[in-house]
């Protein structure tokens, strides 16, 4: 498994729109793309125009195949609303988060 962290800058007046498009985009990618396991979205407390989206992928190969066309394809709507400032992929070595009861 890998996690891919995308950082975005989104103006406050477009934040709700970004979140809606992110939800639709994430579900569509998960449904149509091999190895895509979904993502979650975080908004900074200290800098409310800063967003992280963190995607889970089965393999680096799955993600690299997807990312070749993502900016002009399935993620185009996000790029039209926010400015992507970085993308970094990480091998997941563990996950000790606990789901709420």
* pLDDT at residue number 68: 85
CA geometry: angle 78, 54, 75, nearest 5 deg: 25
Query: In the structure, what pLDDT confidence band is assigned to residue 74 with cuts at 50, 70 and 90?
Result: confident
CATH of domain 2-91: 3.30.70.100
CA geometry: angle 42, 6, 84, nearest 5 deg: 105
Inter-residue contact 6 to 53 (CB < 8 Å): yes
pLDDT tens for each residue of 29-69: 999 999 999 999 999 999 999 999 999 999 999 999 998 88
């Amino acid at each position: 498994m890998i996690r891919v962290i995308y950082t975005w800058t989104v103006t406050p007046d477009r934040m709700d729109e970004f979140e809606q498009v992110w939800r639709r985009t994430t579900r569509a990618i998960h449904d149509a793309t091999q190895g895509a396991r979904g993502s979650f979205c975080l908004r900074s407390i200290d800098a409310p125009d800063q967003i992280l989206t963190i995607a889970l992928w089965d393999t680096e190969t799955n993600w690299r195949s997807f990312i070749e066309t993502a900016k002009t394809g399935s993620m185009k709507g996000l790029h039209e609303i926010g400015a992507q400032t970085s993308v970094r992929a990480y091998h997941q070595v563990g996950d000790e988060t606990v789901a709420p009861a």
